[in-house]
Amino acid sequence: MFSYRHAFHAGNHADVLKHTVLIAALQHLVEKDAALTVLDTHAGAGLYRLDGDYANTSAESADGIARLVAPGAPALQPALQAYVDLVRAFNQGAATRVYPGSPFIIQRLLRDHDKLKLFELHPTDLRALAGNVAQLEAGRQVAVLHEDGFEGIKKFLPPPARRALVLCDPSYEMKSDYGKVLDMAADSLKRFATGTYAFWYPIIPRPEAHDLPRRLKTLATKAGKSWLHATLTVKSSKMTETAAGDVKRPGLPASGMFLINPPFTLKAALKDALPQMTELLAQDRNATHTLESGG
């Protein structure tokens, strides 16, 4: 169902949700003067061409970022507008040909004294990431690490200034990723209980995908930590039959973001943004969203 390489999915509806949440969280976290360390466990290539071979293969951005920047699009809620503005900052003119992945979104929002650690195992994406980051001339602010992010973040927790955001968004191609996310969340809270942890996951017809947010909620509650869970569904997950009698898979119908120790401003931002996101990105009448929090 998923290609490991994010280039095929850049700018799709899942990216809209993930990156809107990421930007809203980061904007709050950088308001404090103290240095922030951000750890991105599955960084990908960092920058993507929406008119390139990979993105054109699936053309998923057409039902994602492209709908938000289309001529005649309505005025956007603040969190969605901040997301669109940041994506547009990587493009010249009206066309959106370049899409920034989480490493470049994060780096754009960091201050000089903040740190960003990027983990990537895929050799092709690692080369692309290293090349893209080199163009930033960010010096020691950004480190590209050829490591498994699930394990690699351990040596950076707790960070020197005791402030951190961890973004974890594996491909979940391997079922074991779901368990690794839970293990990482539990281990990270033991190492650094006050960090902000953001987990993206696909909502697909697989038991592990539905168990993950429930188990993260239990973990956060037992640890006495606040949590926030946002989901965006754009279409039905059911397979359909074409006129020729072929079975058509729906692709990714929905995704979620689960945060432990979320910024207190995030729920209000998403309460306004999610309904509009649902309306603008809906692909059929099954489009919906959820937003819950606790702790």
Q: Which residues are catalytic?
A: 169
Contacts 24+ apart (CB under 8 A), 133-139: 133/46, 133/103, 136/104, 136/107, 138/107
Could you write out the DSSP letters of every residue in 33-92?
Answer: SS--EEEESS-TTSEEETTSHHHHHH-GGGGTHHHHHSTTPPPPPHHHHHHHHHHHTTS-
Q: Give the CB-side neighbour count of residue 132, counting CA atoms within 13 A.
A: 25
CA 15 distance to own-chain centroid: 6
